[in-house]
Amino acid sequence: MVGPNEVQWLSPDENDAWMSLCWLMTKLPGAIDAQLQRDSGITFFEYVVLASLSMSPGRRMTMTALAEFANGSLSRLSNVAKRLEQRGLLVREPAPENGRITEAMLTEAGMAVVEQAAPGHVENVRRCVFDALGADQVTQLRDIGRQVAAQVEPGRSWPPGAESAAL
């Protein structure tokens, strides 16, 4: 039994798993981001913002909901939304039902970017992740991801407000 001031060190198997996860957290985002920037001229965060809007009713979301869905701060989202707005990919406007709330809405040009980027993004995700896994491992990966997410943010689910999403 470990006392309150004693560290329960990782077992060799836990350490190996942790090192694999660390590598994955470090390297996978860069591989995903690089492909999107090379092929579509957008970052992964920008893609998540645009794709989230593309799947939302009316292709619009409040900035708060969009920040939560994209897993970014309102400040980060505002900066990205400003750049995307300058490129004509989205517009921000007061919500019709409450003018104090700002909504982001995907433009036709933004939808075209999502439609152009999605096939290459999915191919890259498949190559980097799913081609290496069997069907049972995909289910395990989903379940493990949800369990770890619940430890990191208890009471929250991913994706916010939806059971699943294809990004």
pLDDT tens-digit readout, 84-93: 999 999 999 9
Residue 16 lies in a domain: no
Burial level of 110, CB count in 10 A (0-12/13-18/19+)?
buried
Domain count, the chain: 1
The residue that leads in pLDDT, 154 or 160, is 154
Q: What is the phi/psi pair of residue 166, to 5°? A: -105, 100
> What is the reported pTM?
0.85
- Percent of the chain scoring above 90 in pLDDT: 80
**pLDDT tens by residue, 8-38:** 999 999 999 999 999 999 999 999 999 999 9
Residue 74 lies in a domain: yes
Residue 149 has pLDDT above 90, yes or no: no
Residue 59 lies in a domain: yes
Residue 128 lies in a domain: no
Which pLDDT band holds residue 158 (cuts at 50, 70, 90)? low
Residue 77 sits in a domain whose CATH number is 1.10.10.10
Residue 158 lies in a domain: no
**pLDDT tens by residue, 52-77:** 999 999 999 999 999 988 888 999 99
Give the domain extent around 71: 29-118
Q: What's the longest Cα–Cα distance across the chain? A: 61
Average pLDDT over residues 127-141: 96
Residue 42 lies in a domain: yes
